């Protein structure tokens, strides 16, 4: 069927027709909201490069959970900022560590909320790298042990899902083994399987206070130029026992999301990262774009590329828009 018999505009004439043939949807239950937890009491501190995002102390979490539930958002991912950092990131697996206490508080006050934890050392090391250093290089295999300990401590505190974001080789297998050995065989691993060494993480490092003190993360995170390598990374994580795969960042890597969607049948997450959020917020604040519509378009595009779920600082704004 070709023009003039076929006219695609017929089905675009009004919103009800458009809604009828809409192929992709975004719902609040697919959104995961990141929370930055800091020590102290009654802390609700602005992150200047991420308008609308705050560092929160543990006492703020119950209120936060109520707000999320009212918006229909069922999942959060936690990042902790400890009061002390050291060379080996011991705060990451401390029994009474910041994230461990935050998990307990949330599971206590909002048992229905899915609590995902970011498993990484960069917020806990004084050098800001994601692992244990030997001769100023992150040593893979020593780091695996610390990561496994960290994931286990999250599970013991009650985390529903652990999400390693460090990009060490072999960490999914190591974490799976540690969890299983301690009878946490029902705790899933959401693997940051394809995480690029991206400059879009800038604002996050302000929020999480995790900027590397020397060098960068290109020795462990992926080169943005590579696409076939994404399949190899994801294949390894599937073989090691990942339950959910993730691609990060999202918008500049929609081709990677689509590729993973085609190649794997595991649930797929995309992380719409801090820089992606900050860019939209900044342009909207200048009146250069319609922030709400650009946000919606970004979320739709990530879903259309094939992501089942989206980690995004826009979760609340998006859920509010869906309720309108």
Q: How near is the Cβ of 295 to ligand PBG at its closest, in Å? A: 15
Pick out residues in 35-74 that bind ligand PBG (CB under 6 A).
none
Instruction: Tell me if 165 contacts ligand PBG by CB under 6 A.
Output: yes
Q: Which residues contact 135 (CB under 8 A, 6 or more apart)?
A: none
Sheet strands (E) in the chain: 31-38, 44-46, 54-57, 75-80, 114-119, 133-134, 137-138, 161-164, 190-195, 244-248, 268-272, 309-312
- What is the residue-wise DSSP string for 55-87? EEEGGGHHHHHHHHHHHT--EEEEEE--S--BT
Instruction: Tell me if 201 contacts ligand PBG by CB under 6 A.
Output: yes
CA separation for the pair 147, 223 (Å, rounded): 23
Q: How near is the Cβ of 118 to ligand PBG at its closest, in Å? A: 5
Q: How near is the Cβ of 41 to ligand PBG at its closest, in Å? A: 25
Q: Which residues contact 111 (CB under 8 A, 6 or more apart)?
A: none
CA separation for the pair 183, 297 (Å, rounded): 42
Q: How near is the Cβ of 122 to ligand PBG at its closest, in Å? A: 5
The catalytic residue among 85, 248, 259, 316 is 248
CA separation for the pair 177, 144 (Å, rounded): 11
Q: How near is the Cβ of 205 to ligand PBG at its closest, in Å? A: 6
Which DSSP category does 10 fall into?
G
- 15-34 in b/e form (b: 16+ CB < 10 A) is eeeeeeeeeeebebebbbbb
The catalytic residue among 195, 259, 281, 316 is 195
Q: What is the token pair recorded at 199?
A: 């400059």
Of the candidates 92, 273, 295, 307, which one interacts with ligand PBG according to CB under 6 A? 273
Tell me if residue 85 is catalytic.
no
Instruction: Tell me if 118 contacts ligand PBG by CB under 6 A.
Output: yes
**Using CB under 6 A, which of the segments 106-114, 131-139, 198-206, 228-236 binds ligand PBG?**
198-206
**Using CB under 6 A, which of the segments 116-124, 148-156, 183-191, 315-323 binds ligand PBG?**
116-124
Cα atoms in the Cβ-side hemisphere of radius 13 Å centred on 237: 33
Q: What is the token pair recorded at 166?
A: 């460090």
Nearer to ligand PBG, 70 or 216 (CB): 216
Tell me if residue 248 is catalytic.
yes
**Using CB under 6 A, which of the segments 13-21, 107-115, 118-126, 136-144 binds ligand PBG?**
118-126
Chain centroid offset of residue 167 CA:
14
Instruction: Tell me if 122 contacts ligand PBG by CB under 6 A.
Output: yes
Instruction: Tell me if 204 contacts ligand PBG by CB under 6 A.
Output: yes
Instruction: Tell me if 274 contacts ligand PBG by CB under 6 A.
Output: yes
Catalytic residue numbers, as ranges: 195, 248
| Binding residues for ligand PBG (CB under 6 A) | 118, 120, 122, 165, 201, 204-205, 217, 273-274
């Amino acid at each position: 069927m070709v023009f003039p018999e076929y006219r695609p505009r017929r089905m675009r004439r009004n919103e009800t027709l458009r809604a009828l043939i809409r192929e992709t949807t975004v719902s609040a239950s697919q959104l995961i909201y990141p929370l930055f937890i800091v020590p102290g009491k009654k802390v609700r501190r602005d992150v200047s490069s991420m308008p609308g995002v705050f560092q929160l102390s543990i006492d703020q979490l119950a209120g936060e959970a109520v707000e999320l539930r009212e918006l229909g958002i069922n999942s959060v991912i936690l990042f902790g900022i400890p009061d002390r950092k050291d060379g080996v990131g011991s705060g990451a697996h401390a029994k009474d560590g910041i994230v461990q206490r935050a998990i307990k508080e949330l599971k206590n006050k909002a048992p229905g909320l899915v609590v995902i934890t970011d498993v990484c050392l960069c917020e806990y090391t004084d050098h800001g790298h994601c692992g244990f250093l030997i001769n100023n290089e992150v040593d893979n295999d020593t780091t695996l042990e610390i990561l496994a300990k960290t994931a286990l401590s999250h599970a013991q505190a009650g985390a529903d899902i652990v999400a390693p974001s460090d990009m060490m080789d072999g960490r999914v297998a190591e974490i799976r083994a540690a969890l299983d050995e301690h009878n946490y065989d029902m705790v899933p691993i959401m693997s940051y399987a394809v995480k690029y060494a991206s400059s879009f993480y800038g604002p996050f490092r302000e929020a999480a206070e995790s900027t590397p003190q020397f060098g960068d993360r290109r020795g462990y995170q992926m080169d943005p130029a590579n696409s076939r390598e994404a399949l190899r990374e994801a294949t390894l994580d599937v073989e090691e026992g990942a339950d959910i795969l993730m691609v990060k960042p999202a918008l500049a890597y929609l081709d990677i999301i689509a590729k993973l969607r085609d190649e794997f049948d595991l649930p797929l997450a995309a992380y719409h990262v801090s820089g992606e959020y900050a860019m939209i917020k900044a342009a909207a604040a200048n009146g250069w774009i319609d922030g709400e519509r650009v946000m919606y378009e970004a979320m739709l595009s990530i879903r259309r590329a094939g992501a089942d779920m989206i980690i995004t600082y826009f979760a609340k704004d998006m859920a509010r828009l869906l309720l309108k």
